[in-house]
Amino acid sequence: MPWKEQRRFSLHMLRDLGFGKTRMEEHIKEEILELLERISEQEGKPVKHAYILAPSMSNNIASLVFGKRLKFDDPQRERLDHLVRELGRLAGSLSWQLFFPWLRAVMSTFNVGDKGRLFRVMHEIKNYCRKEIQEHEKTLDPNNIRDFVDGYLLEIQKKSGDPNTTFRKEVLADLSRAFFGAGSETVRVTVDWMLLVCAAFPEVQKKIHSEIDEVIGQERFPTRNDHLSMPFTEAAIAELMRWKTIVPLNIMRYTLQDTELKGYFIPKHTRVLSVIWAVDHDTRLWGKDVHEYKPERFLSQDGSKVVKPEYAIPFSIGKRSCPGKSLAEIEVFLYLVAILQKFEVHPPPGKQVDLEGELGISLQPKKQEICFKRRH
């Protein structure tokens, strides 16, 4: 099946580029250090933190896919981040179509909804990706694979004699666009939520600070391996991903043949949508306090180990689960720990943290401000 071939190649290419390894971790470190400088410039002031997180995280994806980073205040970078945010918002506003597809024709006839705007945003992001691909073609060197686009273009050349090949430049443009949407925005949303949680629940922030001080200290930059010695921090992140299910509705699939699941007959070509929110908020799995934020759900009784049950599935499950899981986990951990190593986070004076979300493709926090206070 075409998706299997594309997924297999993508994972192989990403691994070759250092995906989930020390090489990628070093790049993330560079982005975080610049982010910390920008936070320092705003210390003590109310900051719309979502807008300073976005450029840093999308640069991680730009480096992986296009082999370059854009400056924080680059107009092209600001436009791209805006488009990625809009894509998530607009796609979420049209999610009703998943449940009422017969209404599409009615809405289109009367020109109601954001469908036109959504397609324009998707087209603009894809055009950006196409231009990057064209630039890569001019300087492509088989002996120097710089990034994902280079690797994919070489695979296109390799498969050029195969009439049934699925490797095409338009597919590459779609993959690049998907990397930006899924790879940067969902990580930003997760870190955004975690900072708000720390501002809203000082006792959680205090425990994370304690683990940081004990395991890492104030001078050494955190590494991914530190998570093995920081069970509460890991549990706090895992519980956030359950409590505020980052992607409540998974991407729609459809059945390739008649099948049966737990006594239910599902005909061929039936559209199937997994609702991860329902799993994350099932009282039979998590208890009656399912709507409360409790990191202890993911800790052993003595708090010394992280315990993740099989029904904790923030990245979905099976062969179509998120291929970016390892990178996302590294990014979320490093960003959160590096920020809290240097700063405390608080709501602005006289204000409370708003923990209600807004549904797009991801469940995003409402845009708001927090204050960063240097710890030492």
Model confidence pLDDT, tens digit, residues 322-376:
888 888 999 999 999 999 999 999 999 999 999 999 887 789 999 999 999 999 8
Residue 195 in contact with residue 345, Cβ under 8 Å?
yes
243 pLDDT more than 70 = yes
Predicted confidence at residue 142, as pLDDT, reads: 93
Alpha-carbon gap, residue 257 to 248, rounded angstroms = 26
Q: pLDDT class for 132, splitting at 50, 70, 90?
A: very high
Residue 61 in contact with residue 186, Cβ under 8 Å?
no
The pLDDT tens digits of the residues spanning 276-309 come to 999 999 999 999 999 999 999 999 999 999 999 9
41, containing H or E segment: helix 22-41
Q: What is the mean pLDDT of the chain?
A: 89
Q: In the chain, how many domains are there?
A: 1
Cα angle 312, 313, 315 (rounded to 5 degrees) comes to 145
- Note down the domain range covering 125: 2-374
The pLDDT tens digits of the residues spanning 317-326 come to 888 888 888 8
Residue 121 in contact with residue 87, Cβ under 8 Å?
yes
19 pLDDT more than 70 = no
Q: pLDDT class for 107, splitting at 50, 70, 90?
A: low
1 pLDDT more than 80 = no
Which residue in the block uniquely carries the two structure tokens 């297999």?
A: 8
Predicted confidence at residue 97, as pLDDT, reads: 59
Q: Bridge partners of 346?
A: 371
103 pLDDT more than 70 = no
Phi-psi region of 111 (alpha: psi -120 to 50; beta: other; left: phi over 0): left
| Dihedral in degrees, nearest 10, Cα atoms 217, 221, 224, 229 | -10
Question: What CATH number is attached to the domain comprising 299?
Answer: 1.10.630.10
Q: Which two tokens stand for residue 73?
A: 């205040």
Residue 198, annotated ligand binder?
A: no
Average pLDDT over residues 46-59: 92
Q: pLDDT class for 99, splitting at 50, 70, 90?
A: low
